[in-house]
Amino acid sequence: MPESKTILLPDVGDFDDIEVIEVLVAAGDEVAVDDSLITLESDKATMEIPSPFAGIIESVTVKVGERISKGSLIANISSEESATEAAPVVEEAPAKAETPQQESPPVAAPVPAPSPTAEMAIPAPAGESHASPSVRKFARELGVDLSQIGGSGRKGRISKEDVQSFVKGVMQSGGGAPASGGLNVGAAPKIDFSKFGEIETVDLSRIKKLSGAHLHRSWVTVPHVTQFDEADITELEAFRKSLGKEAEKAGVRLTPLVFILKAVVAALKAFPEVNASLDPSGEQLILKQYFHIGVAVDTPNGLVVPVIRDVDQKGIFELAAELAETAATARAGKLSPAQMQGGCFSVSSLGGIGGTQFTPIINAPEVAILGVSRSKMTPVYQQDGSFEARNMLPLSLSYDHRVIDGAQGARFTRYLAQVISDLRRSML
């Protein structure tokens, strides 16, 4: 018949009034004899206090940060067994590294509950990670090298959460740690910003979490180069404005973006390797015979990139209507996964907001993305020595340097700028 028993802190030798730095169990947990219950840390050693009983934890009565001494109640447990002798597992002394002091080992002393013995407290050698035995065991099980992790605890101590967030970071950046020659950086240290002032913690939106992982992977796995250029859109703007009445009749709003989409198709036709994806083997280029263009849309929940299909086959008004409808669907959070797939190339237009230039991140597996900033009237030098006010549109093309070399990137951007300046060129 199981009965309720108390687990008290046994005599752990010289150690008194020691801080609880980890609570490893919670009410309802099943524990075996010797399973670690809490971790204590003094300035000399870190030790895990094992359970003297097997059973179900009824309640844990200590908290992280609390200081406890011999005889303090740690937990209540429902158990059928009588107490066994369990020894606390003592790890390294925390980073007081100058002169490793060898302390007398705490000696076994049969007090209220179990009678633990403890091993000698040995300071961690310089450069070695500071973590409790259970965290070390957890890291070993996951194949994680603790030396790669920045501990978030006091004196850089590595917690179970640090190991978990390290593994999560590695998974999100595209799999396991590379064997050689790749990125092998530790997780960012967890900082308690509340130490410096008032803070509020909010969850990232689902879209931000998903797009963040995708952008991160693209940023670290694709060698990006960004080529800047300018298109003279003085004539294009005059043409766009001249279409105002017709657009109104058609029930659409014409912005420079639809014309840019058409110009992008002309440039992709002229440079087929930009309308492509690199095969995962890295040895073949998949050239696409269709022209589906992704358009970055800013939504209250974060960035999404719906794809406008067959841009080559659609007229300006049709594209304007589809763009407006797609952006509205995106902002309502109602895009289907299919609407975000199959893109060949993306356009990120921040022109409606402002700014002069930016470096967009490639929407892999595409090989290039066009960033569009706000156009402005600029004095442009003319052959006869005069200056003319021209409406100049800043373009930033980020491309995958494995697929597109610098000369090609510059030629593509130049060609695109010329087509935007004079859309008649798209018919050539």
The greatest distance separating any two alpha carbons of the chain, rounded to the nearest whole angstrom, comes to: 104
Residue 52 within binding range of ligand CAO, rule CB under 6 A: no
Residue 294 within binding range of ligand CAO, rule CB under 6 A: no
Min separation Cβ 273 and ligand CAO, Å = 22
Which 361-390 positions form the footprint of ligand CAO (CB under 6 A)?
372, 374-375
Which 173-202 positions form the footprint of ligand CAO (CB under 6 A)?
none
| Cis bond upstream, residue 178 (ω within 30) | no
Which of residues 211, 348, 421, 426 is near ligand CAO by CB under 6 A?
348
Contact indicator for 419, 267 with CB cutoff of 8 Å: yes
Burial of 148 (0-12, 13-18, 19+ CB in 10 A): middle
Active site residue 292: no
Residue 327 within binding range of ligand CAO, rule CB under 6 A: yes
Which of residues 84, 165, 255, 418 is near ligand CAO by CB under 6 A?
255
Per CB under 6 A, the segment of 52-60, 75-83, 105-113, 350-358 that binds ligand CAO is 350-358
Backbone angles phi, psi at 264, to 5 degrees: -60, -40
Contact indicator for 15, 1 with CB cutoff of 8 Å: no
Distance CA 10, CA 68 (A): 11
First CA to last CA distance, the chain: 91
Which of residues 52, 151, 256, 294 is near ligand CAO by CB under 6 A?
256
Which position's Cβ is nearest ligand CAO?
Answer: 351
Residue 33 within binding range of ligand CAO, rule CB under 6 A: no
Min separation Cβ 63 and ligand CAO, Å = 44
Residue 257 within binding range of ligand CAO, rule CB under 6 A: yes
Nearest residue to 51 (alpha-carbon basis) of 76, 16, 20, 21: 76
Measured from the CB atom, is 358 or 415 closer to ligand CAO? 358
Tokens 């240290």 found at = 189
Beta pairing class for 67-68 and 18-23: antiparallel
Min separation Cβ 345 and ligand CAO, Å = 13
Q: What is the dihedral of CA 137, 141, 147, 148, to 10 degrees?
A: -140
Which chain residues interact with ligand CAO by CB under 6 A?
253, 255-257, 295-298, 303, 327, 348-352, 360, 372, 374-375, 393
